[in-house]
Structure 1
Amino acid sequence: MNHNNAPLCQAPDQALKKPGLVLCENATDCHAHICGPQSLYPYIPNRIYTPPDALLSQYQALLDSLGVQRSVLVQPSIYGTDNRALLAAIKTNPLRFRGVAVVNWDISDTELEDLHRAGIRGLRCNIVDLAEAKGVLPIKQLTKLANQIASFGWHLEFLMHVNEFPNLSQLLSNFPVPIVLGHLGYLKTNLGTKDPGFQNLLSLMREERAWVKLTGPYRITTEERIPYSDTNPFAHALIAANSRQVVWGTDWPHVMVKGTMPNDADLLDLLQVWVPDPAIQKQVLSENPERLYQF
């Protein structure tokens, strides 16, 4: 039921296909969302989209079909700071799943300890909605939160358009934990890899202060459908900057995709172009997630 005006999203492509890429052991999807059942876990009223139920059972069938053994579930914005659906999913298989939660600024250390025990390994901050103004971070609150989570070995994941923060490295000087950015930096491909914000991100990666997820190419491309070839230079630049700081994810169930809904096997096969070297594929799919999410 959609009680507010948040538009209904397309459902993901349900066809289970085998990817052409043969995955290494412990391949990990580092970015997916469980949505619903809405009857059990209601969405917040002020959400900006309404997904169809995208349930754990569907998602596990997808992982098994792709040959992906481990997964990191990320709290979607539709739940605000209500992490119950996320925690319930992790609890079904704590060896297979880790999580990235969303919390209030005033969360207590005890609550954070509980989340760590429950399999949470990072916190997500929606900078797209939080930034006080373009290019401005709520740095005081972010630093307080980062100090609270540093001892757990967690990170902060920012949903942000990196082109809007050309001096991110300076904004985060002496930041106590690494940051993680999704969607290859989340800047439109027509801005080009020379964009100052993207270049600043690459320098943060070289210093091992930032990680990037190879996710959601359809969120940055100018192309209507796969193979989104205009994303290739961005993926190659991220790998060249520091392949130790890159992970991959499906971005299932692909909420708010406006164009043609891609199939997840085809999305996974983009890795053959983005990361052609099998040794680096293994880093991106298995070794890096192990470090970042403490599998």
Structure 2
Amino acid sequence: MSLTRRHFVAASASLLGFAAAGQSLAAVPWSTGEQPPRLKFPSGSVDCHMHLFDDRVPPVPNAKLRPPNATLADYQQLQERLGVHRMVIVTPSTYGFNNQVLMDGLEASNGNARGVAVIEPTITDYDLQKMHAAGVRGVRINLSFGGAGIEYLEPLAARVNELGWHVQFVSPGKALPGLEARLRKLPGTVVIDHLGEVEQPGGFDSEPFKVLQRLLDTDKVWIKLSGAYISSAVGAPSYEDYGQLAGLLVAKRPDRFVWGSDWPHVTEKGSKPDDALLADLLLGWIPSESIRNQILSLNPSKLYGFPT
């Protein structure tokens, strides 16, 4: 058992014992508010984008994001509050190519998590197989905060395609037009974070938004509804401009969308958002309950290989 797993297990057991005693839980770390959402998450629902942080694993020297600890036990409090059953843990840029926090989180999750790692093309087949057995199902290319850069796009896609993994891609929206042709040519599935970070205002008429529409027609691209605060000009609480883009794209291909909380919201330097209110935005963006349930449960189960 690794040091980090020992910490996760002990903290998780403490949390479960606290809840079993019938006592109310405190506010969730790195989230505002204490009330549950109005949205009812379906059985088998998946939060497809969250991060874990552990200060026993050092950040890379050039890390732009260095948040305090955000543990699995912390996140499990959020799961309880929201009613989400499963998670996808994404290695943040903070750790460069070190996936130790991810691997420990997967080990402690009792099968309720999948992972997205940050790797180099020189990784051994043995290490890839070890990650796959642990639950890793994707690799991340990050043009926003560092880690695996665009020069790794094709080599990594080729390495992981035989495992059935996807390439998860995050970048400022303005980079999408120049990368559209390369994304189309990749051999496997592509997942685009944060609705492509289409810059607002003016998103409807922008070329990045048109790129997302075209990529959805390829049958190989998925998009995450996550991180509305990254690109919205309207901002909290409605993120109306983001929601309008989301609603239009979801109507086009509801089978190609998943949702993520982006907890612990490391790009938000002030007060953290209320995760229940963020979840409730889906009620307005996607009025159809059946489509919401598809995005929250059926789609991610297919993409990440969760049992249905």
- TM-score under structure 1 length normalisation: 0.88
Q: Aligned letter for 2:87?
A: S
Deviation at residue 259 of structure 1 after TM alignment = 5.2
**CA 1:235 to 1:82, structure 2 compared with 1: closer, same or farther past 3 Å?**
same
Aligned pair 1:12/2:64, yes or no?
no
Aligned residue number for residue 232 of structure 1: 243
Extract unaligned runs of 5+ from structure 1. Answer: 1-10
User: Counterparts of 2:267 and 2:181 in 1: how far apart (Å)?
Assistant: 32
Corresponding residue of 2:188: 177
Displacement of 1:14 in angstroms is 5.2
Structure 1 equivalent of residue 202 of structure 2 = 191
Q: Distance in 2 between matches of 1:173 and 1:234?
A: 22
Q: Is the 8 A contact 1:225 1:260 kept in 2?
A: no
- Structure 1 counterpart of 2:223, one-letter code: V
Name the CA distance, whole Å, in 2 between partners of 1:153 and 1:118: 14
Structure 2 letter corresponding to 1:204: L
Measured against aligned partners, the alpha-carbon deviations of 1:42-88 in whole angstroms (never above 9, x if no partner) come to 22221112212111101011111100001000001111111111111
CA displacement at 1:162 relative to structure 2: 2.9
Q: Distance in 2 between matches of 1:182 and 1:120?
A: 17
User: What is the CA–CA distance in structure 1 between the aligned matches of 2:35 and 2:57, rounded to whole Å?
Assistant: 30
- Percent identical residues: 36
| Residue in 1 that maps onto 2:46 | 28
CA shift digits 1:19-48 (9 cap, x unpaired): 001111111100000011x1x222222111
SS in 1 for 2:205: coil
Q: How far, CA to CA, are the matches of 2:279 and 2:263 in structure 1?
A: 12
For 1:201 and 1:155, the matched residues in 2 are separated by 17
Q: Is the 8 A contact 1:32 1:253 kept in 2?
A: yes
- Deviation at 1:170? 1.8
Q: 1:15: how far off? A: 3.8
Q: Take 1:122 and 1:170, find their aligned partners in 2: how far apart are those partners?
A: 21
Partner of residue 266 from structure 1, selected from 258, 263, 277: 277
Question: Who is 1:257 aligned against?
Answer: 268
1:88 maps onto 2:104 in alignment: yes
Aligned-residue offset at 1:241: 2.3
Match of 1:114 among 130, 137, 152: 130
Q: The residue matched to 1:124 in structure 2 has which SS?
A: strand
Among residues 39, 51, 68, which one is paired with 2:84 in the alignment?
68
Q: Which residue of 1 aligns with 2:289?
A: 278
- The CA distance in 1 between the partners of 2:107 and 2:114, in whole Å, is 9
Cα distance in 2 for partners of 1:69, 1:156 equals 24
Q: Does 1:246 align with 2:257?
A: yes
**1:193-252 deviation line (CA, Å, top 9, x unaligned):** 221122112211122221111001111111342111121211112202211110001000
Per-residue deviation, residues 61-116 of structure 1 (Å, max 9, x unmatched): 11111000010000011111111111111111242110000012311222111110
Q: How does 1:121-200 map to 2 (within 5 A)?
A: 121-128=137-144, 137-138=150-151, 141-200=152-211
- Unpaired runs of at least 5, structure 2: 1-28
Q: What code does the residue aligned with 1:100 have?
A: V
Structure whose residues are more often helix by fraction: 2
RMSD: 2.0
For 2:57, the aligned partner's letter is: Y
Contact kept, 8 Å, 2:32 with 2:275, in 1: the verdict is no
